[in-house]
């Protein structure tokens, strides 16, 4: 079994992979102030509840876009399982079957998305990741990352309104029945959530046009299913795509170093 860790700006996601399938996926807030011991206790409890002993974990792979948390999580995994995790970063990118655009600038989560999509579909693909940021990563059928677009994520946009205005509340991410908001909550939902529907359609359509239509779209991320009206533009919706890519990165590194 493997433990795959994806540290994002909002959450840290832990996946338990058992040979051919994801057995469990756990999510917890990514707090920079937490100690390695705090995360260790949480992971021990999850494994206990899943009836998995520590000795059955054969490898761990860590991806992080929060530099302050990377040493904390790396230390925790090493202490808990007794071996050093593979940490995704520019130093290991030459071992991957990808041509990576600006390796020292691109987030490790986007590299994971690209590798997972390239491996799964073997054709040009734009991966739309609905997370803290809304990202569009395009990878060719030959395994070359062609480009990236980034916008604030849904929750980030709503929280920004809440944080920077005196009278607007933080509202749930729910699709309103109408674009004509009849209350403050519905007005924000109409502007942000329906607005994001247009944003995603526009960016995906533009990418596909620039690639002469030879490009499918795939959605991932914790909020990937929150706008049902977007489902028609996606060939697939795979919430665990980033975890799968991190796992595949671990496999590539292990194979190249044996």
- State how far the Cα of 105 lies from the Cα of 108, in Å rounded to an integer: 9
Question: What is d(CA 23, CA 117) in angstroms, rounded to the nearest whole number?
Answer: 21
- Quickly tell me which residue has 């302050």 as its tokens: 68
Cα 24 to Cα 125: distance, rounded to the nearest angstrom: 27
Active site residue 109: yes
Closest CA to 221 of 119, 137, 100: 137
The active-site residue out of 109, 177, 232, 236 is: 109
Q: Which of 150, 173, 149 is nearest to 161 (CA)?
A: 173
Sequence length of the chain is 258
How many other β-carbons are positioned within 10 Å of the β-carbon of residue 42? 16
Residue with tokens 């596909």: 208
- Residue 64 CA, chain-centre distance (Å), reads 10
Query: Which residues are annotated as catalytic?
Result: 109
């Amino acid at each position: 079994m493997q433990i795959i860790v994806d540290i994002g700006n909002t959450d840290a996601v832990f996946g338990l992979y058992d040979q051919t399938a994801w057995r469990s996926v756990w999510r917890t807030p990514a707090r920079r102030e937490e100690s390695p011991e705090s995360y260790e206790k949480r992971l021990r409890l999850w494994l206990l509840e899943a009836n998995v002993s520590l000795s059955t974990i054969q490898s761990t792979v860590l991806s992080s876009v929060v530099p302050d948390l990377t040493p904390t999580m790396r230390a925790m995994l090493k202490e808990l399982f007794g071996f050093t995790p593979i940490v995704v970063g520019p130093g290991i990118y030459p071992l991957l079957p990808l041509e990576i655009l600006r390796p020292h600038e691109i987030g490790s989560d986007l590299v994971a998305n690209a590798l997972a999509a390239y491996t799964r579909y073997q054709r040009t693909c734009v991966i739309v990741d609905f997370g803290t940021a809304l990202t569009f990563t395009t990878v060719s059928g030959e395994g070359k990352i062609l480009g990236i677009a980034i916008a604030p994520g849904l929750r980030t946009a709503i929280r920004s309104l809440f944080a920077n205005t005196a009278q607007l509340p933080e509202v749930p991410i729910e699709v309103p029945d109408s674009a004509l908001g009849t209350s403050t909550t519905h007005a924000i939902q109409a502007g942000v959530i329906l607005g994001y529907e247009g944003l995603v359609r526009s960016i995906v359509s533009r990418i596909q046009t620039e690639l002469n239509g030879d490009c499918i779209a795939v959605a991932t991320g914790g909020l990937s299913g929150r706008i049902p009206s977007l489902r028609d533009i996606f060939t697939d919706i795979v919430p665990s795509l980033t975890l799968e890519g991190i796992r595949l990165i671990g496999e590539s590194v292990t194979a190249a170093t044996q």
